[in-house]
């Protein structure tokens, strides 16, 4: 580390409490996705709000994964408020109760929103890896927001965590751009993979059979995508260009199934915009030049995705109707998550020569009491992927390609994917809707 950069670092180094003083009443603040949330700074901002030192501060976040974050404290409502761009466990209940709000968006458009749509960004704060000898910090496990948020922000505050992996790609920031830094040594939150159900394995197996050697992958989060990853270990020369990097992808890289050598762009590189998993994954990506983080308007750009032949996208759904409309973000009118990058990747796979976009789910909920394939979506449900974009639907009962099928053909195929006990009722409703005769 050069002396000049060391000196700059020392001049800007402060405690979390001192760093938090840069946040003033009425400020709009934002942080990177998931593990990029700077816990110590946010806690210190929350303490200031509790003391009445600040109010009307808004914290914008995508996939907040750290329980107990100060902006989720109901006692700080009106002082330090949460605005979600994609909702996960810690903030879901609060948003469903109407305590906080969210911004509908496709993940790929988030940088554009911060550059051109949002009124301003007063503070960008983030958790980063230690500074290198050239004066650069890596955003580690979050690349989606870079460089849009730092470029827009008036103040940049960094929490340097010794345990944050250093990753390559377009996700660096220089000490000269930073207002202040503090330090921490906190273990990263881990996402443990639950045991796979028999249906997860069955669905994953059907998808894996349709993945050719040399395909490039995007796998979502959850049991089914994990099952797909496990069942692809016998494939050859796969590539990864994904939104979220997961543990199952580490396994595919380590066993040699993924080489990235057939990719037309970023050849030899695994490309992602965020990563969240176990310590095994964090150790794998740390200082690994074959793994790169890039902004989400690159990773999720359908035209970039579509340049990869045989692109495979695997994502989940809450429910699907007989027209092929996919809801993946709400339970009726109740907000659950967000659009994320599902449609980005479905459209990218549609643009890919030989590409396949899979929407996968178990056919029932509540131990078989409710069909997730419905005549029409539950009233108030949000359409995440429209009928004109949907390609393959997969349940434990089979796989069906809807692309190029008539409305009536789609209805029949979807009914065949439903649990047997619901097929008669679905057929009756389809006839009432004039989808079948």
d(CA 220, CA 242) in angstroms, rounded, equals: 8
What per-residue confidence (pLDDT) applies to 124? 98
pLDDT at 231 over 90: yes
Rounded Cα–Cα distance for residues 67 and 93 (Å): 12
- Residue 86 DSSP label: E
Sorted by where each begins, the domain ranges of the chain are 3-184, 198-432
Q: 206 φ, ψ to 5°?
A: -65, -40
- CB neighbourhood size of 396 (10 A): 20
Residue 1 pLDDT > 60, yes or no? Answer: no
The pLDDT, as a whole number, for residue 91 is 80
Report whether the peptide linkage leading into residue 99 is cis, meaning its omega lies within 30 degrees of zero: no
Question: What digits encode the pLDDT tens for the residues 101-120?
Answer: 999 999 999 999 999 999 99
Read off the pLDDT of each residue in 38-44 and give the average, rounded to a whole number: 96
Q: Which CATH architecture has domain 198-432?
A: 3-Layer(aba) Sandwich (3.40)
Q: Mean pLDDT throughout 163-177?
A: 97
DSSP letter (8 states) at residue 403:
T
Q: What is the pLDDT of residue 2?
A: 54
pLDDT band at 89 (very low <50, low <70, confident <90, very high): confident
On the question of pLDDT at 66 being above 80, the answer is: no
| CB-neighbour burial class of residue 276 (10 A; exposed 0-12, middle 13-18, buried 19+) | buried
| CA–CA distance, 437 with 418 (Å, rounded to integer) | 19
C-beta of residue 224 within 8 angstroms of C-beta of residue 360 = yes
Q: Is 26 exposed, middle or buried (0-12, 13-18, 19+ CB in 10 A)?
A: exposed
> For 54-80, b where at least 16 C-beta lie within 10 A, e where not — what string?
beebbbbbbbbbbeebbbbbeebeebb
Q: How confident is the model at residue 97 (pLDDT cuts 50, 70, 90)?
A: confident
pTM of the shown model: 0.96
Let me know if the fold of 3-184 is the same as that of 198-432: yes
For residue 274, the surrounding DSSP H or E stretch is strand 274-275
Q: What is the DSSP letter of 229?
A: H
CA separation for the pair 91, 69 (Å, rounded): 9
- Average pLDDT, stretch 58-74? 85
CATH superfamily ID and name for 3-184: Glutaconate Coenzyme A-transferase (3.40.1080.10)
Q: Give pLDDT, residue 154.
A: 98
Would you please indicate which residues are annotated as catalytic (active-site) residues? 243
- Report how far residue 229's alpha carbon sits from residue 239's, in angstroms, rounded to the nearest whole number: 12
Which residues lie closer than 8 Å to 249 by C-beta, 6 or more apart? 217, 219, 229, 240, 242, 258, 270
**pLDDT score for 3:** 84
| For residues 380-397, average pLDDT | 98
Mean pLDDT over residues 294-307, rounded? 98
Report CA-CA distances (Å) from 391 to 24, 354, 399, 403, 407.
48, 12, 11, 5, 13
Q: Please indicate whether residue 95 or residue 352 has the higher confidence score (pLDDT).
A: 352
Chain centre to alpha carbon of residue 72? 20
Nearest alpha-carbon partner for 345 in 381, 315, 310: 315
Instruction: Give the pLDDT mean for 261-282.
Output: 97
Mean pLDDT of the chain: 96
Query: Among residues 220, 176, 180, 171, which one has the least CA distance to residue 200?
Result: 220
Output the pLDDT for position 95. Answer: 87
Closest by Cα among 72, 276, 245 to 164: 276
* Per-residue model confidence (pLDDT) at position 93: 84
Q: What are phi and psi of 372, to 5 degrees?
A: -90, -10
* Sheet strands side by side (includes 373-374): 326-327, 319-321, 373-374
pLDDT for res 232 = 97
Give Cβ neighbours of residue 116 (< 8 Å, ≥ 6 apart): none
For residue 209, what are the CA distances in angstroms to 235, 255, 359?
A: 10, 18, 15
Q: Which of 124, 61, 58, 56 is nearest to 90 (CA)?
A: 61
Best CA proximity match to 223, nearest among 204, 240, 210, 206: 204
The answer to which of 94-103, 126-135, 326-335 has the lowest mean pLDDT is 94-103
- Given a cut of 60, is residue 233 above it in pLDDT? yes
- CB neighbour class for 50 (10 Å; exposed up to 12, middle 13-18, buried from 19): middle
Judged against a pLDDT cut of 80, whether residue 16 lies above it is answered with: yes
Regarding predicted confidence, which is higher, 323 or 68?
323
Cα 166 to Cα 402: distance, rounded to the nearest angstrom? 42
Model confidence at 65, in pLDDT bands (50, 70, 90)?
Answer: confident
pLDDT for residue 64 is more than 90:
no
Three-state secondary-structure class, residue 408: helix
Residue pair 274/245 in contact by the 8 Å Cβ criterion: yes
Q: Confidence class of residue 236 from pLDDT cuts 50, 70 and 90?
A: very high
């Amino acid at each position: 580390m050069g002396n000049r950069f060391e000196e700059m670092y020392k001049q800007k180094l402060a405690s979390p409490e001192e760093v938090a003083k840069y946040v003033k009443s009425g400020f709009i603040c934002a942080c990177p996705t998931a593990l990029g949330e700077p816990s110590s700074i946010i806690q210190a901002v929350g303490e200031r709000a509790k003391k009445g030192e600040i109010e009307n501060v808004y914290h914008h976040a995508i996939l907040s994964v750290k329980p107990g974050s100060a902006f989720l404290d109901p006692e700080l409502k009106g002082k330090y408020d949460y605005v979600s761009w994609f909702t996960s466990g810690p903030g879901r209940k609060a948003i469903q109760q109407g305590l906080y709000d969210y911004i509908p968006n496709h993940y790929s458009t988030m940088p554009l929103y911060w550059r051109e749509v949002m009124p301003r960004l007063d503070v960008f704060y983030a958790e980063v890896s230690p500074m290198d000898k050239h004066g650069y910090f890596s955003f580690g496990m979050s690349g989606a927001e870079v460089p849009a948020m730092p470029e827009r922000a008036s103040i940049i505050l960094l929490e340097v965590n010794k345990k944050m992996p250093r990753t390559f790609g377009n996700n660096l920031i220089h000490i000269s751009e930073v207002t202040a830094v503090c330090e921490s040594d906190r273990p990263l939150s881990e996402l443990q993979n639950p045991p796979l159900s028999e249906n997860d394995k069955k669905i994953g197996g059907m998808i894996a059979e349709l993945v050719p050697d040399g395909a490039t992958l995007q796998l979502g989060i959850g049991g089914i995508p994990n099952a797909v990853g496990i069942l692809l270990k016998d494939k050859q020369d796969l590539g990864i260009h994904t939104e979220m990097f997961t543990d199952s992808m580490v396994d595919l890289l380590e066993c040699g199934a993924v080489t990235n050598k057939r990719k037309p762009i970023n050849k030899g590189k695994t490309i992602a915009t965020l990563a969240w998993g176990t310590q095994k994954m964090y150790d794998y990506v740390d200082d690994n030049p074959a793994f790169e983080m890039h902004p989400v308007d690159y990773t999720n750009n359908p035209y970039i995705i579509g340049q990869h032949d045989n692109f495979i996208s695997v994502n989940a759904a809450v429910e699907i109707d007989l027209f092929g409309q996919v809801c993946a973000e709400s339970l009726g009118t109740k907000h659950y998550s967000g659009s994320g990058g599902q449609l980005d990747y479905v459209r990218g796979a549609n643009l890919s020569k030989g590409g396949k976009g899979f929407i996968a789910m178990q056919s029932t909920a509540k131990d078989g009491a409710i069909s997730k394939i419905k005549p029409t979506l539950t009233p108030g449900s949000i359409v995440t992927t429209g009928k004109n974009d949907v390609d393959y639907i997969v349940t434990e009962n089979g796989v069906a390609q809807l692309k190029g099928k008539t409305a009536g053909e789609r209805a029949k195929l979807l009914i065949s994917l439903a649990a047997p006990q619901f097929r008669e009722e679905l057929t009756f409703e389809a006839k009432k809707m004039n989808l079948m005769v």
